[in-house]
Amino acid sequence: MHHIRYIVLLVLLALLATGATLAQTPAGQTAAPMAPGSNSAKYDYVIGAYDLVEIQVFELQQLTRKVRVAEDGTISLPLLGKITIGGLTPQQAEQHISDLLREGDLVREPQVTVFVEKMVSRQITIQGAVKDPGPYPILGQKTLLDMIGEAGGLVNQAGNKIIILRPFTSGGEDRIEIDAERLVFEGDPLTNILLEPGDIVMVPYLQQVRIYVNGAVRSPGSKEFPSDEQITLLQAITAAGGTTDRANERRVTVIRRLPDGAKQMFKLNLKRIKKGRADDMVLQKNDIVYVPESIF
Please report which confidence band the pLDDT of residue 90 belongs to, taking 50, 70 and 90 as the band edges: very high
Last residue within a domain, chosen from 93, 118, 143? 118
Answer whether 125's CB lies under 8 Å from 134's CB. Answer: yes
Q: What is the pLDDT of residues 170-184, one digit of tens each?
A: 777 899 999 998 997
The residue from 59, 84, 118 where one domain ends is 118
Is residue 178 in a domain? yes
Q: Is residue 32 part of a domain?
A: no
CA distance 104 to 14: 51
Task: Say what the pLDDT of residue 273 is.
Answer: 95
pLDDT at residue 168 in the model:
81
Same domain, 69 and 191: no
pLDDT(134) > 80: yes
**37, pLDDT greater than 70:** no
Same domain? 255 vs 240: yes
Q: Which one, of 167, 166, 189, 163, lies nearest residue 178 by Cα?
A: 163
Q: How many CA atoms lie within 13 A of 80 on its CB side?
A: 24
Range of the domain at 257: 208-291
**Nearest-angstrom CA–CA distance, 168 and 155:** 30
Residue 173: what residue type? Answer: E
Asked if residue 9 has pLDDT above 60, the reply is no
Contact by Cβ (8 Å): 97, 80: yes
Q: Is there a single domain that holds both residue 221 and residue 267?
A: yes
pTM of the predicted protein model: 0.54
Q: Evaluate whether residue 272 is within a structural domain.
A: yes
Query: What was the pLDDT predicted at 296?
Result: 64
Q: Last residue of a domain, which of 95, 118, 141?
A: 118
200-203/123-128 β-pairing: parallel
Give one word for 198, left, alpha or beta, with left for phi > 0 and alpha for psi -120 to 50: left
Q: What are phi and psi of 125, to 5 degrees?
A: -120, 130
Whose CA is closest to 121, among 218, 217, 51? 51
User: What is the residue type of 223?
Assistant: K
The pLDDT of residue 264: 95
- More confident of the two residues 270 and 159: 270
In angstroms, the CA 121 to CA 50 distance is: 6
Q: What is the pLDDT of residue 242?
A: 96
| CATH for 174 | 3.10.560.10
The domain tally of the chain equals 3
pLDDT tens sequence across 173-225? 899 999 998 997 788 899 999 999 889 999 998 888 999 999 999 999 999 99
Give pLDDT tens digits for 40-55: 444 578 888 889 999 9
Mean pLDDT rounded to a whole number for the chain: 84
Label residues 165-181 b or e (16+ Cβ within 10 Å = b): ebeeeeeeeeeeebebe
Looking at residue 111, its pLDDT comes to: 92
Residue 34 is assigned to a structural domain of this protein: no
**30 within some domain:** no
CATH of the domain at 86: 3.30.1950.10
| Residues 219-265 pLDDT 10s | 999 999 988 788 999 999 999 999 999 999 999 999 999 999 899 99
111 and 50 both lie in a single domain: yes
The pLDDT value given to residue 123: 87
| pLDDT at site 181 | 86
What number is the average pLDDT over the span 75-90? 92
Neighbours of 20 (CB within 10 A): 11
